[in-house]
Amino acid sequence: MRELSTEGIHENRIKLSILIKIRWIAIIGQLAAILAVYFLFNFELPLFYCFSLILLSAFLNIILQAKSKKTHLLTNIQATWSIFFDLIQLFGLLFLTGGVTNPFSILIAAPITIASGFLSLRSTVFIGIMSVILTVFLSFFYFKLPGLNQINFFPSFYIGGLTLALCTAIIFFAIYSQGIKTENIRRSKAIHELEQTFLREKELKSLSGFAAAAAHELGTPLNTISLVAKELKKEASLYSKFKSDIDLLVSQTQRCGEILKQITSDPYKQDLFLENASCHLIIEEIKNSSQFLNNKIFLLDINNYNKDYFLKKKIELIYGIKNLIDNAFKFCTTTVKVVIKSSDNYLQIIIEDDGPGFSSEIKNNLGDPYIKSQSSFISKNQGLGLGFFISKTFLERLKAKINFYNNKTSGAVVDIFWSYSDLKKAELI
On the question of pLDDT at 207 being above 70, the answer is no
Provide the sign of the torsion angle of the four alpha carbons 66, 67, 69, 70, taken in this order: negative
The region, left, alpha or beta by phi > 0 then psi within -120 to 50, assigned to residue 236 is alpha
pLDDT in tens, 356-401: 888 776 766 666 665 554 443 444 444 456 678 778 888 888 899 9
Q: How far apart are CA 173 and CA 113, in angstroms?
A: 6
Q: How far apart are CA 150 and CA 87, in angstroms?
A: 28
Q: Which residue has the higher pLDDT, 20 or 376?
A: 20
Nearest C-alpha neighbor of 319 from the set 426, 192, 422, 195: 195
Contacts of 306 (CB under 8 A, 6+ apart): 341, 342, 343
**Residue 350 pairs with which residues in a beta bridge?**
339, 415
Helices 76-96, 110-118: axis angle to 10 degrees equals 170
Question: How much is the pTM?
Answer: 0.53
Q: Alpha helices, DSSP H only, in 74-155? A: 76-96, 110-118, 121-140
pLDDT in tens, 103-129: 899 999 999 988 888 888 899 999 999
Confidence of residue 192 (pLDDT cuts 50, 70, 90): low
**Residue 416 pairs with which residues in a beta bridge?**
349, 402
Provide the sign of the torsion angle of the four alpha carbons 196, 200, 205, 206, taken in this order: positive
The region, left, alpha or beta by phi > 0 then psi within -120 to 50, assigned to residue 399 is left
- Determine contact, residues 44/146, Cβ cutoff 8 Å: yes
**Residue 417 pairs with which residues in a beta bridge?**
348, 401
Which of helix, strand or coil describes residue 97? coil
On the question of pLDDT at 199 being above 80, the answer is no
Provide mean pLDDT across the span 205-226. Answer: 66
**Residue 297 pairs with which residues in a beta bridge?**
335
Provide mean pLDDT across the span 213-241. Answer: 71
Q: Which residue has the higher pLDDT, 377 or 136?
A: 136
On the question of pLDDT at 41 being above 50, the answer is yes
Confidence of residue 27 (pLDDT cuts 50, 70, 90): very high
Instruction: Give the pLDDT of residue 157.
Output: 83
Phi, psi of 372 (to 5 degrees): -105, 135
Measured at the CA of 401, the angle between CA 397 and CA 405, to 5 degrees, comes to 130
